[in-house]
Amino acid sequence: MAHILLVDDDQDIIEMNRTALSQRGHRITAAFSAAEAKQAVAADAPELAVLDVMMEDKTIGFELARELHALYPAMKLVMLTGISKEMDLRFSFGPDETWLPVSKFLEKPVNPRILADEVDGLLKETA
């Protein structure tokens, strides 16, 4: 199956998603910050990354998505966030090739099985 990078500062979310994705045969690498994610990708680039938005600061996930897309344009990116609720935003985000170059955008909390279904669907698109 695929190599997937999970990036979130919440260890419980990483573990729930790791379990769901591992059960489907994926190899998982975890990172708890944008800096760890960059190191992990440099060592062994995954086919897909699942990114949180709010980690070291409230928007670091957006910056990380743009950096990863610039370096690895074929890498699928899934963004998970609760930023709309956290900041009481009255609009939602969606993929955008320039500002938010992700394949899928999902609001937290996301059921790990639903995330796994979305990941599998994105991976099938590139197969």
pLDDT at 57: 85
Domains located in the chain, CATH noted? 3-96+105-126 (3.40.50.2300)
Model confidence at 105, pLDDT cuts 50, 70, 90, reads confident
- What secondary structure letter does DSSP report for 109? S
Of the candidates 48, 41, 55, the residue with the CA atom closest to the CA atom of residue 10: 55
DSSP codes joined into one string, 80-96: EE-HHHHTT-SS----B
Give tens-digit pLDDT for 61-83: 999 999 999 999 999 999 998 75
